[in-house]
Structure 1
Amino acid sequence: MSVIKPAVSYFFWVFLCGFVLGVVREVWMLQWLSQRNAELMEMPVILFVDWLSALYCVVRPSKKRRGSHFLLVGLLALILMLGFELTVVLGLRGLTFSAYVESRDVVSGGVYVLSLMLFMLMPWLVFAMNQRNQS
């Protein structure tokens, strides 16, 4: 239970921010930018939200945990993120999984996969940085 609550909280805030940014990108930014550039501009904001969410939802409330706890939190949050991406987001956009993969830009799609890996690792990275700063 100690992994579920922080993982859901971490996932929720990052997903909410990503959802809002996605709407802004699709409705407003694509008028001036290509899909690739709009998605790439979004990534630093998402990584910042990953960091803030990991810090405030995961690491600060559970200072007495070990590093493996934060890896599990990140893994569960990633599973939730992928589950929502593959059901809710694809459902709203009316895409199948194969159509979604085919529609992804090679560059921004690769950066997106990298951002998902950083999303998964961020609770552990923030924990490790905090441990190092306290030593």
Structure 2
Amino acid sequence: MTGRIAAAGAAYFAIVFIAGFLFGTLRTLWLTPWIGPLAAVAAELPPMLAIAYAASAPIMRRFAVGTRAERLAAGLVAFILLMAAEFALAAAFGIPPAAYAASWLTAPGALGLLGQVLFALVPALRGPRPAQ
């Protein structure tokens, strides 16, 4: 894997992770107590995927990641970084890795994991946008 693909994946991860951290905090502290965990994750998913969609093309263009295979590889890098960050955050809150992974077996956890997989696929599915 080339450095530009890894750099594109890392940049894509960073932008979406920062947004996800902010949205996740709002979801956890405000939305979940109000509408429940599944509805809160379902409400968070569209804006997060919109952010991923908006961020992907300029980042892929910036790092000259043009082919679908390269964009898929960059998305995989971003997904691996996201999973590492998620497990690290869970550990910081005292949640063992097995318990965190088991949370994917709940409806909110499965929906969240689906969103993370879609996040990884967005660069490949969206494709490059012509330079302006």
CA RMSD of aligned residues (A): 2.0
Query: Residue 100 and residue 64 in structure 1: after superposition, are their counterparts in 2 closer, same or farther (change >3 A)?
Result: closer
Q: 2: distance between equivalents of 1:101 and 1:25?
A: 20
Residue equivalent to 2:54: 52
State the secondary structure of the residue aligned to 1:28: helix
Q: 1: distance between equivalents of 2:33 and 2:6?
A: 40
Moved more, 1-10 or 28-37: 28-37
Unaligned runs of 5+ in 2: none
Unaligned runs of 5+ in 1: none
Q: 2: distance between equivalents of 1:48 and 1:22?
A: 15
Q: 1:41 aligns with which of 40, 43, 55?
A: 43
* Counterpart contact for 1:21–1:42, Cα < 8 Å: yes
Shift of 1:4: 1.6
Q: Deviations over 1:79-110 (max 9, x none)?
A: 101111111x1023221122224445622222
The amino acid across from 1:114 in the alignment is L
Residue equivalent to 1:61: 62
* Counterpart contact for 1:36–1:105, Cα < 8 Å: no
The sequence identity of aligned pairs, in percent, is 26
Q: 1: distance between equivalents of 2:101 and 2:93?
A: 13
Q: 1: distance between equivalents of 2:73 and 2:104?
A: 28
Equivalent residue pairs, number? 128
Q: 1: distance between equivalents of 2:115 and 2:121?
A: 10
Residue equivalent to 2:85: 84
TM-score, normalised via structure 2 length: 0.85
Shift of 1:64: 7.0
1:109 partnered with 2:121: no
Q: 1: distance between equivalents of 2:16 and 2:65?
A: 24
Q: 2:34 aligns with which of 16, 19, 32?
A: 32
State the secondary structure of the residue aligned to 1:32: helix
